[in-house]
Structure 1
Amino acid sequence: MNRTYWASLAAVVAALVFATVATVASATGGDSEPAAHTPVAASADAGFARDMAVHHQQAVEMSFIVRDRTKDEEVRRLAYDIANTQANQRGMLLGWLDLWGLPKSEPDRLPMAWMGMGSEPGGDGALMPGMATNTELAELGKADGKQAEVLYLRLMTEHHKGGIHMAQGCAQRCTTGVERSLAQGMVDSQQSEIDLMAQMLKART
């Protein structure tokens, strides 16, 4: 692995650590405004935090893969932005679960059950809507240049669509104000990136 990869990874890890620490203050409202309640494991607040953390982790993984498979600066810049943003947000989500004293995973609870969906995960590693399969991740890891760029943009577009659906669910169901705000921010930013990726795909196909 080259220096660029490790420098990028270090930046994302730093953002993740910072977000995890900072989110404790935001979720409790700071020193003067304690949280009104603590979410329970079956709540939308906890379910969204668990599921979106998993969803985000794959986006970070795909973004680092494509950065090593193309020299196109536009795609590499987008991939870094997505990796950095979603690692930061993932740190916040996991930080809230720690703050609430809740587990970061619950194997017996179906993904997205908090949204009233609760369907069994798809095959080949696709745990939630929009997530890439193991086969698709392997294809991305083997692709080069334009082929890798197109595959990444297509996979990430679908990934964002699934993420938006989930974030909209939290914006409607979550009771923690700061988490609802984060979810709505995800909807807005990821829709903007979908629009950008559509333009980038058009230029490459």
Structure 2
Amino acid sequence: KLIVTSATYRQASAVPDERDPENRLLARGPRKRLTPYAIRDAALFTSGLMNSQIGGPSVKPYMPPGIWRSISNASYKQDKGDKLYRRGMYTYWRRTVPPPTMMTFNAAAREVCTVRTDLTTTPLQALTLMNNKTFVEAARFLAERMLRQDAAPRERIAWAFRTVVSRPPTTGELKLLEADLAFYEKDFVAQPDGAAKLLKVGEKPA
């Protein structure tokens, strides 16, 4: 009772635009992550890989090996070339074996009509973004775009952050990313084979 009657609890979260016209207090904007389709599309777009063709048949992007074998003798035949980078809405969908990446981010299973999907935050989602072939390949090409920027490493990091997040990084965020860059540079120098394997992830050559 004390909590719900406190002044803090009863404060409104709606801030008038005139009180924060430049949105410095981050009062306006989405409070939830992107949809499963938008997450993949955003990765493809910022990396420069996205195929923006509109219309046409469904496509079969990257999937785990043998994914259809669990329920039938049919084999999943992955598409090649630019078809791999079409928007998520064109992904071929088999209801008995839906795309696992989409399901990880709470896409509707399509077995029944779903008006509203759940929204979860799980460790598996972070692992998917770190290890899934689509996102690793997209990160690789975003890194290539960074290297083409005629700037110092700090400015390149800021450019990439702004490209992906649509805002400049804070001082703290920039320091963390610079530390990550130094760590991975040292790691890849020590393990050149690992760096070579990373550069081969995905169908599109470097």
* TM-score using structure 1 length: 0.25
Higher alpha-carbon Rg: 2
* TM-score using structure 2 length: 0.25
Question: Quick one: higher RCO (CA 8 Å, sep 6+), 1 or 2?
Answer: 1
